[in-house]
Every structure is written in structure tokens, then in C-alpha cells.
Structure 1
Amino acid sequence: MPTARERVRAEITAEITAAARRQLAEVGAAALSLRAVAREVGMASSAVYRYFPSRDDLLTRLIIDGYDALGAAAEDADDPAAPTEQRWTAVCAAVRDWARAHPHEYALLYGSPVPGYTAPRDTVPAASRVGVVLGRVLGDAARAGRLHGEGGRVPGLLGDAAVEVLGQDAPGIDDAVRVRALLAWSGLFGTISFELFGHLVGSVEDADAYFARATAELGGLIGLA
């Protein structure tokens, strides 16, 4: 059970990160300032530094929190009892819903890089959560005989991290299937980014209908449909 001091620290940390998320909406990630966050929460800058020693530490926390929230949305949407194509489209819809509800956090994760900031390895597990859900769908589809790989591993094509996330060693999954899965995965986020950043204006009449059709096509590319 957390001590009183630990509870207070957790509450203040949550207050600081909430203020930082509001700053993201107002000024963007590149202009995020610990001093401005401190003013908003009514703390001295020196006090905030005890929780986040630098702007980069605060950005890292926001990124991990964002990826975790997005990953949780994808995980909650996945029903292992449903047909694989329905699982894929449900996860895609949940990712889009989260992005539309949190556009500034989504932009931090998938928008332009923040000048002078490099995300540490600490962000990788959280960033992989949506991919892990897709890998679970792929693995179940392969075990059900829906995917048929023949080529195994292709030297120099995909890294071990992609293999680990996208189906691991499930029978029927090879690098050809994983490439299609990566195309679909990047296509999902590309479609969402185009919508959120205004690039579909004038090209798409009904964003909901377009997204449903696009994700169905991406599922078909993988072999889920």
C-alpha cells in the first residue's frame, strides 16, 4: 500500500502532467515549458524540477502516458471470441476514436518530431502495445488457418522486434505476412493522421465511411478478410 508521501507525489505528478497536456493543446510540444507548467499549477519552477528534472523528462512521461492510453484503448476493443476481421476493424476504430478525442497527444506521438528531443528506449514498450494487439490477432488468425506463409525469414528485411510483436513464431506467419501487417499498421496511422491533420479535406465526403472502407481493405491486405 502506498505511503502518504507516495500518494502525495503521485497526485502532484498527475497534476503536473495534466497541466502539460493542456500546454500541448495551447502551444504545442516544441514550445512546452516547465516554467509555464509550474505557473499553471501554482508551483515554483524549482519544485517542479524535483518531479521532472528537464523538459525532456516531462515529454517522455507524456509520450509514455499517451502510448499507454492508446494501447489500453486497442486492448479493450479486442474481443478474442470475435472473427479476426471484426477484431481488426474494432481495434482500428478504437485507435481512431482515441486519436480524435486526444488530437494533441496523438500529434505528440505521431506528428512532427520535437526539435532537440530524442525519445529514450523507455518509450518502446508502451509504443508497441497497439502492435502487440495486432500481433495477437495475427497469431490467432494463423492458428485458425486463415494465414498461410511460405517463405520464413528474409535476411535483412525485418528486425527481430517486428518478428516478436507481429505473431512471433505462430505457424503460417512469415516475413511476407509481417510485411503486409506492417503496411496495414502504418496505413492505419497514416489514414488517421491524414484525417486529423486535415489532408482528407476535399478528397473524402464521409470520413466515417472512408475509414471503415480503408481499414477493411487493410485487413484484406493482411489476409484477415
Structure 2
Amino acid sequence: MPPTVRERFRAELTAEITAAARRQLAEVGAAGLSLRAVARELGMASSALYRYFPSRDDLLTRLITDGYDALGAAAEDADDPAAPPRERWLAVCRAVRSWARAHPHEYALLYGSPVPGYAAPRDTVPAAARVAVVLGRIIGDAARSGALPESAGRERDPDLVSDETAALLGGEHPAIDDAVRLRALLAWSSVYGTISFELFGHLVGSVTDTDRYFDGAMGELAALVGL
């Protein structure tokens, strides 16, 4: 059934509100995000905007979810299951970096400093995990194709990597033990750490070519997990 006029209007106005909020992120940062300022930019009464987002935290949650979804979509689009695992890994990492460079303020909202007084709700987790799902699928596919050596059969250490994270990072397979999961978790977090170092200016004076450095670093991470 096609959406009603009211539903289309609500969707369009919601998109306008979130677009204005993203512009505010670029100007004042997440901590300075203000519903009143967004309403003022759009020529709306604050009371009207509150019908769409009852609080600043609701708007932040929407921006965070949208950001994670956009980043996850970029990673998913970059993954070619027919390619060798190492090439898949590098392609996905490059796509994540490209998205971050194109959307630095949204990336900072996701992986920068916490916003004072705000805690993201659990319902942001599925969107936040989309990149990890892609990277984990690459590891799992490599294991199932015989591209990862089988482990020595060590038992799971439930206190090391959570069951939820283990499921993301390749799932259950004889070649994926807790040592592999630990390296996969390290690699996953290092992808964002490397991008953050570049995006927030910490590589200035350290490397002469950020493209070559990134590809080299992502290659080392691929090797770390056995790809």
C-alpha cells in the first residue's frame, strides 16, 4: 500500500530536520546540537519540531543510527563475495575510510568524543554492527573455504570475547578459536583507530602518504587475522 500524503509529508520533514541537524554538527559539534536552533533554521516553531523529536537525545539517536546505517551500507556495497578474502577485506576498509573522509562530522559523532549527558540506547547496536558483520563474514568465509588454518582446538574462554561478538566475527568454525576472535576484534577496532588518527590530524608529520599508509596498515590487519 503506498504511503499516505501525511506519511510522505512526515518523512520529508523528518529528512529536512535531520539534514539541518547534520549541518549543525559541522558548525557546533554534537554537544552543541540544539532543537531550537534546528527549528529556527527550518522556520519551524520548536513545539512543532518536538512532535518529530521530543528531545535532543532522540535527535542524536536518529543521527547516530542514520550514520551507522550509511557507513554499514558503504561497507556492504564494497564487499564482493567472489573476490579473495584479503581483497575483500581491503575493499571494505577502503570504503569505510572513504565514507569517513566524506562525512567527517558524522564520523566524529560515531567514533569521536562522547556527548556529555548522552548515552546511546541499545537499539543503535544493530546499525553499529553492520561493518563488523561484513568483516566477520569475510573471516567466516575464509575459514569455511580453507583459507584459515584450523586452530589447535582450544576451548572457548567465555570471559574473553562475548558470544554476541563471537557470532559477529566469523561465527563458529574449527579455524576460529578465541585467539583468532581476539585478533579479529583488535583488527576491527584498529580500522577505526587508523581512520580516526588520520581524520583528527594525528598522522600529520608521521607519514608522507596517507593512502599508502592506510593500505599498508589494513594489509597488516588482514594478515593479523590470517587473511
The two structures have a TM-score, normalised by structure 1, of 0.98
Matched, 1:125 2:93: no
Between the aligned partners of 2:217 and 2:224, the Cα distance in structure 1 is: 11
Determine helix, strand or coil for the equivalent of 1:125: helix
**Residues 55-204 of structure 1 correspond to what in structure 2 (within 5 A)?**
55-147=56-148, 148-149=150-151, 150-204=153-207
Residues 67 and 129, structure 1, Cα contact 8 Å, conserved in 2:
yes
Pick from 207, 211, 216: which aligns with 2:219? Answer: 216
Mean alpha-carbon deviation: is it higher for 116-125 or for 164-173? 164-173
- TM-superposed CA distance for 1:143, in Å, is 0.6
Corresponding residue for residue 207 of structure 1: 210
The residue identity in structure 1 corresponding to 2:80 is D
Aligned AA (1:133): V
AA paired with 2:28? V
Q: Which runs of 4+ in 1 moved over 3 A?
A: none
Q: Deviations over 1:78-101 (max 9, x none)?
A: 000000000000000000000000
Query: For residues 84 and 212 of structure 2, what CA distance do their matches in structure 1 show?
Result: 21
Displacement after TM superposition at 1:153 (Å): 1.2
Residue aligned with 1:93, SS = helix
Which residues of 2 match residues 3-82 of structure 1 at below 5 A? Answer: 3-82=4-83
Task: Report the Cα offset of residue 164 of structure 1.
Answer: 1.4
> In the aligned structure 2, how far is the partner of 1:109 from the partner of 1:11?
24
Deviations 1:81-136 (A, max 9, x none): 00000000000000000000000000000000000000000100000000000111
For structure 2, which runs of at least 5 residues remain unmatched after alignment? none
Please give the per-residue CA displacement for 1:191-223, whole angstroms capped at 9, x wherever unaligned: 000000000001010000000100000100010
TM-superposed deviation, 1:155: 3.0
1:143 touches 1:171 (CA, 8 Å); kept in 2? no
Aligned length in residues: 224
| 1:37-64, Cα deviation, whole Å (9 max, x unpaired) | 0011110000000000000000000000
Q: CA deviation at 1:171?
A: 3.5
Identity %: 76
Unpaired runs of at least 5, structure 1? none
Whole-angstrom CA distance in 2 between matches of 1:94 and 1:151: 34
Q: CA deviation at 1:152?
A: 3.8
Alignment partners' CA distance in 1, 2:5 and 2:102: 33
Query: Aligned to 2:160, what secondary structure does the other structure show?
Result: coil
Amino acid at match of 1:119: A
Q: Secondary structure at the match of 2:100?
A: helix
How big is the alpha-carbon RMSD for the aligned residues of Structure 1 and Structure 2?
0.8
